[in-house]
Structure 1
Amino acid sequence: MHFVNAKGILSAQNGMNLYRGCTHGCIYCDSRSSCYGFTHAFEDIEVKRNAPELLEKALRSKRKKCMIGTGAMCDPYMHCEEHLRLTRKCLEIIDRYGFGVSILTKSTRILRDLDLLRSIQEKAKCVVQMTLTTYDENLCRILEPNVSTTRERFDALRIFHENGIPTIVWLSPILPYINDTRENLEGILDYCIQAKVYGIICFGMGMTLREGDREYFYAALDRHFPGMKEQYRRRYGNAYQLQSDQWRELTALFQEKCRANGIVYDMDACFQYLHELPERYMQMSLF
């Protein structure tokens, strides 16, 4: 872990990444891809120590309230958050200035900030997003070794619903020959139904691989699924998009289950929900 002073914290779309890199160890992580230009080891977390100060300055100058997003490129609840509490400090600022927040994580550490998330939801809007990849707990510990298991994330989703905080699930990735089964999809969808999630974001029944990410993923296949790397190479070569051979059946099941249970699954509608702040908060800031 190393510390830097960032020049800015909010993107043009009001997203922020407080850390760079990750310690969760997910074998399929796209953020490892060479195109992101990491100049340090992926597990050597870069900490933007001045993020709270930059965020407060940015929010103070905004003329309208909006949703602030975090977690798109780097999980805000990695292991280092336990003692750095950088995410919590930023949530305190968002809460104080009356903005909304949208958080994407795979970690139940987010429950430590339930008090702040409830406060933000009462004043503006808070949406918690969680990725669910596999229903099988043993497989989860292989694919996502250093993070909360799927069952633990499901329990967190239920807690957020019980506390009036809406949730969205990212159903991703669907790994060919590994979790692209009807049983896996039904298990995840049943979790979503029980947790009463607002919506599910699914980019298709497959995964993506590119330079940097591909090498790490294939090394993991050699460790845990001997012979499968060759199967991938024969079927997909160096393709970026790897679609499951079961994509038609799985897509039909996904859409049918969502429609039957009132879960929003149109991606545009889900992203619109994540970015929209209720009209009553879209007003001139008093600060």
Structure 2
Amino acid sequence: MHYKEYKSILSAKNGINIYRGCSHGCIYCDSRSSCYQMSHDFTDIEIKKDAPIMLENALKRKRKKCMIGTGSMCDPYIHIEEEIMYTRKCLKVINKYSFGLSILTKSNRILRDLNLLKSINEKSKCVVQMTLTTYDEDLCRILEPNVSTTKERFETLKILHENGIPTVVWLSPFLPFINDTEENFRNLLNCCIEAKVYGIMCFGIGVTLREGNREYFYQKLDEHFPGMKQKYINSFGNSYECLSDNNDRLMKMLYLECKKHNILLGIDKVFNYLKLYEYKNAYEQISLF
């Protein structure tokens, strides 16, 4: 790991990425793509020096409250967070200034900060997003070797719901010929239903590959699924989007199940929900009168 100085941390769309790079080792990770222009090895985590201080300076200057998003590129709960604790410090800042939070992770480490998540949610809105890809635990350990297992993430979703924190699940990606089966998809949907998630994000049944992440993905296919790389090359060539033959059938299943269980579905609808700031501090409201 190494520190790097930045002038700011908050993007124009109110997003933050505290770390650049990741230790989770997911074989399909898009953040490895060359377009993100990481000048360091992906597993040599870059830490944005003084990230909590930069965030506090930015939030103090904002006239209007909003949702702060984190984790869209690099997970805020990678392993070094246990030592650095920058994510926790940033959550304290968000809580201090009564901003909302939309946070995305694959790790049950987020439960360490349950007290802060609850406090943020009491004042405004806190939404935890979690990615689920593979119900089979053995396959999960191949596709996502250094991250919380699907079972651990499922238990985390249930705990968050029990504590009044809304959750959104990203069902993604589904690797053609590997985890794009109806059995896997239905089992993951059942997890979402049992955990009472508020919404589901799904961009389709497939995976995206481009320069940088494609090479790493193919390397791991050769390591764990001999012959699969050639199957991808024959089926998709150099296409960015590698769509499963099961896409239409599984997306129809997703739509029907979400409608049946009143789960928010649709990329635009879910993104709008994640961006919508809500103010709920009853004590301050009472004090105004």
TM-score range with shorter-chain normalisation? Answer: over 0.9
Identity of aligned residues (%): 63
- Corresponding residue for residue 35 of structure 1: 35
CA distance in 1, matches of 2:153, 2:256: 23
Deviations 1:74-97 (A, max 9, x none): 100000000100000000011011
Q: Give the CA deviation at 1:280.
A: 6.1
- Corresponding residue for residue 210 of structure 2: 210
How many residue pairs are counted as aligned between the two chains?
282
Amino acid in the other structure paired with 2:45? I
CA distance in 2, matches of 1:94, 1:78: 20
Q: 1:91 to 1:279 in 2, by over 3 A?
A: closer
**SS state of the match for residue 47, structure 1?**
strand
**SS state of the match for residue 56, structure 1?**
helix
Amino acid in the other structure paired with 1:85? M
- Corresponding residue for residue 8 of structure 1: 8
Deviations 1:148-186 (A, max 9, x none): 001100000000000000000000001000011000000
Give the unaligned 5+ runs of structure 2.
none
Deviations 1:88-146 (A, max 9, x none): 00000110111110100000000000000000000111000000001111100000000
CA distance in 1, matches of 2:212, 2:5: 27
Instruction: Tell me how large the CA RMSD over aligned residues is.
Output: 1.1
Output aligned runs, 1:165-244, within 5 Å: 165-244=165-244
Amino acid in the other structure paired with 2:49? R
CA distance in 2, matches of 1:39, 1:4: 12
- Corresponding residue for residue 129 of structure 1: 129
Amino acid in the other structure paired with 2:162? E
Give the unaligned 5+ runs of structure 1.
none
Deviations 1:226-255 (A, max 9, x none): 001000000100000000011111111111
**SS state of the match for residue 264, structure 2?**
coil
CA distance in 1, matches of 2:62, 2:56: 10
Amino acid in the other structure paired with 2:269? A
- Corresponding residue for residue 113 of structure 1: 113
2:124–2:279 Cα contact (<8 Å) kept: no
2:98–2:123 Cα contact (<8 Å) kept: yes
- Corresponding residue for residue 162 of structure 2: 162
Q: Which runs of 4+ in 1 moved over 3 A?
A: none
CA distance in 2, matches of 1:5, 1:157: 35
Using structure 1 for the length normalisation, give the TM-score: 0.97
